[in-house]
Structure formats: C-alpha cells, structure tokens
C-alpha cells in the first residue's frame, strides 16, 4: 500500500514538473486508498456529453475496490431542486453531490468543508479564481470540475465582406471591426438588421436565471453592481436603466428575436446555429455543436472574441464581461462515507479525467490540463480550435465573475427576471420595472435578515 502511494505521489510530482512538455500521460488521482466493500453514492449532473466521466469510474472502482452508485442524474436546475429538498429533510444520503459556483452559497450549511481533505499541492492545480468563488467564510465547499464563460461569437461573413464594411463606413463613419464594447455591438447589430445583412443582430436567453445572469453581466461590465455593500439592491441605478433600455430597444426594433422571453440556452443557440444572428455572447461549451456542419449552418463561419466591455456610462468602472460558473463536486454534511467521497472527487477532478473531459470541449479548471489541451490544439486543422482555448484561458483567468455569493441568488432571480421581461416587452418603462424589482428584492432580503 505504502509503496503504491509513494509511486503515485512520485508520478504526480513528475507530472506537475513536466506538465508543459505534456508528452507523458495525464495521471489519475485518488486511487491510493483501499475502499473495498464501500459503496459510494453520487448525485450528479447527467446527459450524453458527460459520458466520459462515468466511463472513468470503472477505473476507480477497480483500483480502490469501492462500488460507485449513481443515485441521480439530472440537469443542473433539477439537481438544484433535489439538493435543496434533500438537504432540508436530511435525506442527502450520498457521498458526492453535484455543485456549481452559482449555487454553492445556498448549500453551505449542509456541505462538508473540504480544505482539510486536500493538500495545498492538490489545490494548487486548480484555478485560484474559482476556488476563491467556492470559499465562503474561510471554508472551501467544492472542487471544480469544468468551467464556462462566454466570448463574443460573431459571423465571419459579415466582417469579411468589403461591401458591407464600406456601407457601414458610409452609414456611421467608422470601421467595421469585431466589436469590443457594448455600444459597438448595439451599433453594428442594428446596422446589420436594418440593412438586411442578418435576420437578427443579437440574441440572449430571455428567462429565468439565464436572463438575470446576462443582465448582471452587462450591468457589471458597465461598472454597475447588483447590490451595494449593505446588500441593498442597486441595479435600478442609471447603469441598470441604460442596460434595460438597451434590451428593450433591441426587442422593439427586432434586433433580438420576437420570442426572446421564452428562450433558454438551446433556443438562443439554435438561432445562431441557423446563421441568423450577427453577434452574441455565448458559452464556450457550444463550440463543438456550432462547428458541426451536419447540424449547423454557421459551422466554419464564425469567430470568437473576448467579452465586451460595458456601456461607457460606467466611466472608469467599465470592465470586460465574464459571467462565469464552474460545475463542481461537493460532499454533503450528511454523507455516510465522506472520506470515500473525497477520494472519488480527487479521482474525478484528477488531471487525467479532467483532461479527458476537456477533450470533449469543456473548459478545464486545472492549469496542467490547460497546458495539455492548448498543446494538443496547436496543430489542429482549424486554427480557431487553438485560438478558442487561448482566449478561454485568458477569460477564465482574468474575467471570471460569479454571481453574488448569496443564498438568495435564485430567489432574487425569480423576483428580478419577470420584471426585466416586462421592460423588454415594453409593458413598463425601464426605471419603473427595475424600481419595482428593487422594492420586492429589498423586502425579500429583509425577510432573509440582511438588514
């Protein structure tokens, strides 16, 4: 046993030293404990694109003698509901649970702090920005699996056409370049739509947390903040109103789809896939889908750029967009075998498994895996494959911003997004809609004991 442990430690050390070379195989971790006879239960996110991880589990079972039982496979939001109910009733009898940086704050009373189970070296492999986002009051509650963040996706044909560029110059007196600011996006998206170059100028998910998040992103990129330091709602400031008015204007002018408010991620992606959208923010996770010539007309016809900076109304506080999140693993406080659960997490977040997942297009959260995938992509057929990864590494490293880490994020979102929808659809003015949302939010936060 000791020898095996020593060997693994040695290999790990070698790997981390020589990671840049990346010639050697990525290594598993968490196999250094005898777990014979133990059944580890896991509740996790499901779906075809997560297969690789479940395949790897048999390696873990063989090496440790443990049996891994998947007790739930759900999409993120269903899992969130399940966890809430299970935690509240003490029914969370599993050792590993799905977690997400956007949700972790509400679970913390029911999760096991993990910092004592992981060595500093083990934690050093992960992106510090994500671990920061997962550390609440000094306790680390999750180990990240993979991250996602949104770059600008734009249709190349619109930016490579001299006639369109000349027309744009005539109309606006400016060069047509890939946008870097929200104001440029506004100008170009409107131009493309008004002149019939593109059916739609922009798209965004228009309901639930997806809409709240996209607003939050435009708002903080424009220098705003949803809440002030006393957790008073602050999104109805002039920045918030400007962002909401921008969206409402897009809706009434047909820059965004007429059914925006019923779109979730798959709906917005469908529009871009059909080559109907000029510019948009979209998660990196969609890349393989968009590049699939069988399913998407936009395949081969789009480029990526770093997230936009917000409206200039924010002055110096303007920053790049980068609403981000990371899927992750946690151990419930009620886990029957927490140590075994930790071992499974170490394995599932190991360089090898993370690397195999990254090959599917997920953005890694480990620096060693970043090195590997970028090296792998250096001779890819499509240069965008590598550019994408380099861009993503910059964004995850520098622009990564989670929603406010409050347990009330989803209740807040449920209050907020219908009001924003009403603004977008023109039912109320931006100021009135956001004021109403702020008043309700304040009441909810007061009930939760913030003031």
Partner 1 sequence: MIGRRKNADDGAAPKRVIQFSRIDAGAFPFLLIFPAVLVILLVIAFPLLYSLYVSFTPYELLKPNSLNFTAARALRNYEKLLNDDIFWRSLWNTIVFLAVTVNLSYLLSLALSQLLARVTFGQSLLRTLLMVPMMFAPILVGMQFRWFFNANVGLVNNFLISVGILQEQGQIAWLVDVPLGMITIIIASIWMNIPVMTIILLAGVLSLPSETFEAAEVDGASGWQKFRFITFPLLAPFSYIALTIMSLDIARAFDIVRIMTDGGPARRTEMLWTYITRLAIEDTKFGLGSAMSWITVSLSVLFTLYFFRQLVKARIVQ
Partner 2 sequence: MITRSVGPNRHRNDIIWNVVAWAILSMLALPAFWIIMTAFRPNIEINTFPPVWIPKRLTLEAFANMFGLNPDVQQRVAVEAYLRNSLLASGISTVIAVSLGTLAGYAFARFRFRFHTSLFLGIMLSRAVPGVALSLPLFLLFNRVGLVNNVLGLALVYVAANIPFTAWLMDGFFRQIPQELTESAYIDGCGYWSAFWRIELPLSLPGLATAAIFAFLAAWNEFQIVSVLARNNAAKTFPPGLFAFTEQFTVDWRGMAAMSVIMMAPAVIFVVLVQRNLVSGLTFGAVKG
Count CB-CB contacts under 10 A for residue 266.
11
Instruction: Count Cα atoms within 13 angstroms, Cβ side, for 152.
Output: 25
Per-residue contact string for residues 153-192; x = within reach of partner 1 by CB under 8 A = ----------------------------------------
Query: Is residue 110 within 8 Å of residue 333, measured between CB atoms?
Result: yes
Q: How far is the CB of 88 from partner 2 (least distance, A)?
A: 9
Smallest separation, CB 95 to partner 1 (Å): 21
Out of 70, 245, 407, 450, the residue judged to bind partner 1 by CB under 8 A: 407
Q: Which is nearer to partner 1, 345 or 437 (CB)?
A: 437
| Among partner 1, partner 2, none, partner that 46 touches (CB below 5 to 8 angstroms by kind) | partner 2
Among partner 1, partner 2, none, what binds residue 179 when CB lies within 5 to 8 Å by partner kind?
Answer: none
According to DSSP H, which parts of 18-127 are helical?
A: 51-64, 76-89, 104-107, 120-124
Give the contact letters, 190-219, x = binds to partner 1 (CB under 8 A), - = no.
---------x------xx------------
Instruction: Choose which of 187, 188, 421, 441 interacts with partner 1 (CB under 8 A).
Output: 421
Candidates 115, 124, 144; CA nearest to 17 is 124
Which of the stretches 180-188, 324-332, 371-379, 412-420 binds partner 1 when contact is defined by CB under 8 A?
412-420
Per CB under 8 A, contacts with partner 2 among 352-381 are none
Q: Which stretch binds partner 1 (CB under 8 A): 60-68, 162-170, 224-232, 405-413?
A: 405-413
- Interface with partner 1 includes 414 (CB under 8 A)? yes
Q: Alpha-carbon torsion 374, 379, 381, 384, what sign?
A: positive
Of 128, 238, 265, 426, which one interacts with partner 2 (CB under 8 A)? 265
Exposure class string for 65-93: b at 16+ Cβ within 10 A, else e: ebebeeebbbebeebbebbeebbeeeebe
Using CB under 8 A, which of the segments 132-140, 229-237, 256-264, 331-339 binds partner 1?
256-264
Give the burial class of 158: count Cβ atoms within 10 A of its Cβ; 0-12 exposed, 13-18 middle, 19 or more buried: buried
73 binds partner 2 (CB under 8 A): yes
- Indicate which single residue of 411, 435, 442, 450 sits in contact with partner 1 (rule: CB under 8 A): 411
Query: What's the angle, vertex CA 54, arms to CA 48 and CA 60, rounded to 5?
Result: 170
Name the β-bridge partners of 363: 147
Sort strands 143-148 and 139-140 into parallel, antiparallel or unpaired.
unpaired
The yes or no reply on residue 401 touching partner 1 (CB under 8 A) is no
Binding residue (CB under 8 A) for partner 2 from 39, 78, 195, 378: 78
Taking only Cα atoms into account, the Rg of the chain, rounded to an integer number of angstroms, comes to: 23
Query: Can you tell me which of 155, 280, 327, 419 binds partner 1, judged by CB under 8 A?
Result: 419
Nearest distance from residue 258's CB to partner 1, in Å? 4
The smaller minimum CB distance to partner 1, of residues 303 and 411, is found at 411
Question: Which of the residues 258 through 277 are near partner 1 (CB under 8 A)?
Answer: 258-262, 267, 270-271, 274, 276
Phi, psi of 148, deg, nearest 5: -150, 150
* 280 or 372: CB nearest partner 2: 280
Report whether 401 contacts 220 (CB < 8 A). yes
Taking the CB of residue 365, how many other CB atoms lie within 10 A of it? 26
> What minimum distance in Å lies between the beta carbon of 183 and partner 2?
29
Least distance CB 111 / partner 2 (angstroms): 18
- Those residues with Cβ within 8 angstroms of residue 129's Cβ, 6 or more apart along the chain or in another chain: 396, 397, 400
Q: Is 339 exposed, middle or buried (0-12, 13-18, 19+ CB in 10 A)?
A: middle
Please report whether residue 46 would count as binding partner 2 according to CB under 8 A. Answer: yes
DSSP conformation letters of 115-175: GGGS-HHHHHTB-HHHHHHTEETTEE--EEEEEE---EEEEHHHHS-HHHHHHHHHHHSS-
Report d(CA 307, CA 321) in Å as an integer: 5
The listed partner (partner 2, partner 1, none) that binds 450, CB under 5 to 8 Å by sort, is none
Q: How far is CA 43 from the centre of its chain?
A: 20
Pairwise CA distance, residues 287 & 217, whole Å: 21
Site string for partner 1, 431-450 (x = CB under 8 A): ----------------x---
Span of 1-9, 26-34, 79-87, 161-169 interacting with partner 1 by CB under 8 A: 79-87
Residues of the shown chain interacting with partner 1 in the complex, contacts defined by CB under 8 A: 81, 84-85, 87-88, 106, 109-110, 199, 206-207, 257-262, 267, 270-271, 274, 276, 407, 410-411, 414, 418-419, 421-422, 424-425, 427, 447
Residues of the shown chain interacting with partner 2 in the complex, contacts defined by CB under 8 A: 43, 45-51, 54-55, 71-76, 78, 82, 85-86, 89, 91, 265-266, 269-270, 274, 283, 285-286, 289, 294-295
């Amino acid at each position: 046993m000791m020898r095996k442990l020593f060997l693994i430690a040695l290999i790990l050390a070698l790997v981390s030293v020589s990671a840049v070379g990346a010639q050697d195989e990525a290594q598993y971790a968490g196999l250094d404990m005898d777990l014979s006879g133990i059944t580890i239960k896991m509740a996790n996110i499901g779906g075809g694109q997560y297969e690789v991880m479940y395949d790897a589990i048999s390696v873990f079972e063989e090496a440790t003698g443990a049996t891994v039982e998947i007790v739930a496979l759900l999409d993120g939001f269903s899992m969130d509901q399940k966890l809430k109910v299970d935690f509240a009733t003490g029914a969370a009898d599993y050792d590993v649970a799905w977690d997400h940086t956007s949700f972790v704050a509400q679970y913390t009373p029911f999760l096991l702090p993990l910092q004592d189970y992981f060595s500093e070296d083990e934690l050093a492999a992960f992106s510090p920005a994500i671990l920061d986002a997962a550390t609440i009051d000094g306790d680390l509650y999750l180990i990240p699996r993979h991250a996602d963040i949104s770059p600008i996706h734009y249709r190349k044909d619109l930016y490579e056409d001299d006639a369109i560029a000349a027309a744009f110059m005539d109309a606006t007196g400016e060069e047509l370049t890939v946008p870097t600011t929200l104001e440029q996006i506004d100008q170009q998206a409107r131009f493309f739509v008004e002149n019939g170059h593109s059916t739609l100028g922009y798209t965004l998910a228009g309901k639930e947390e997806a809409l709240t998040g996209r607003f939050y992103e435009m708002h903080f990129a424009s220098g705003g903040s949803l809440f002030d330091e006393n957790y008073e709602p602050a999104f109805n400031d002039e920045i918030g109103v400007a962002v909401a008015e921008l969206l409402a204007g897009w809706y009434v002018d047909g820059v965004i789809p007429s059914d925006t408010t019923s779109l979730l991620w798959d709906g917005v992606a469908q529009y871009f896939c059909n080559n109907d959208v000029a510019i948009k923010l979209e998660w990196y996770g969609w890349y393989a889908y968009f590049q699939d010539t069988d399913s998407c007309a936009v395949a081969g016809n789009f480029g990526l750029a770093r997230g936009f900076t917000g409206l200039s109304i924010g002055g110096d506080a303007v920053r790049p967009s980068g609403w981000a999140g990371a899927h992750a693993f946690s151990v419930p406080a009620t886990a029957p075998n927490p140590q075994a659960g930790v071992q499974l997490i170490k394995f599932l977040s190991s360089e090898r498994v993370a690397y195999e997942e990254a090959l599917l297009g997920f953005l890694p959260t480990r620096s060693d895996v970043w090195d590997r995938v970028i090296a792998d992509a250096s001779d890819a057929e499509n240069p965008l494959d590598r550019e994408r990864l380099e861009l993503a590494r910059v964004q995850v490293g520098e622009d990564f911003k989670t929603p406010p880490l409050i347990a009330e994020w989803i209740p807040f979102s449920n209050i907020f997004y219908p009001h924003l929808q009403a603004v977008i659809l023109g039912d109320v003015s931006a100021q009135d809609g956001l004021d109403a949302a702020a008043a309700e939010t304040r009441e909810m936060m007061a009930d939760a004991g913030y003031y």
